[in-house]
Amino acid sequence: MAAVSHLKNKRDAKLREGIERMLARCGSAGGPIPVQGYMDVLAGHGLQLDDKETARVTRMAQNKMKKRMSDDDGFMDRNEFIEYAKKSHAVKEWLDAEKSKNIDKAELAFKAIDKDGSGFIDVSELSKLGGGKMDKSKQEALMNKLDKDGDGKITLEEFRLLFK
């Protein structure tokens, strides 16, 4: 039972992290979320709210009698937006598009270097970069730069840092 709870917490944390990345792109620096910024971020990936989500955002933005998600200046409350975003199909599609965009480049390059398919890059695989013309001092410098935990192996996560 604890393992299931752990997985749920980890999944929720990743979702929250993705939503925070989206919020940063919306132009929110820890405060209210600009409605237009949110729409622009979605449009940047060719996404838009479906009728149900549009109605929900509009209803929350215009409802003046109840606690509302958006104020009169076109900004949404950060915490309420995060709760909304956790259930939003458009936000999930955006997160999937962002994830696949980052994975493709890094993972393709990693797999091209990891010839033996071990899941990590070692010094011998680094030596084959550049047609095998990289001298030993350059190999060591590159290994030291990428191998953050010093175990002599570059994992995909360590390699991915080159793409950020």
Most confident region among 3-12, 18-27, 127-136 by mean pLDDT: 18-27
Q: Where are the alpha helices (DSSP H) in 27-88?
A: 35-43, 51-62, 78-87
- pLDDT for 37-80, tens place per residue? 888 888 887 888 888 888 777 766 665 334 445 555 677 778 88
Instruction: Please tell me the predicted confidence (pLDDT) of residue 101.
Output: 72
Q: Can you say whether the dihedral through the CA atoms of 47, 52, 53, 54 is positive or negative?
A: positive
Contacts of 111 (CB under 8 A, 6+ apart): 117
Mean pLDDT of 20-25: 86
Instruction: Please tell me the predicted confidence (pLDDT) of residue 153.
Output: 92
Nearest Cα residue to 33 out of 75, 88, 68, 90: 75
Instruction: With 0.75 as the threshold, say if the pTM is over it.
Output: no
Higher pLDDT, 5 or 74: 74
Instruction: Please tell me the predicted confidence (pLDDT) of residue 151.
Output: 92
Higher pLDDT, 122 or 31: 122
Longest dimension (CA), the chain: 71
Instruction: Please tell me the predicted confidence (pLDDT) of residue 65.
Output: 32
Taking the C-alpha atoms of residue 157 and residue 164, their distance in angstroms, rounded to an integer, is: 11
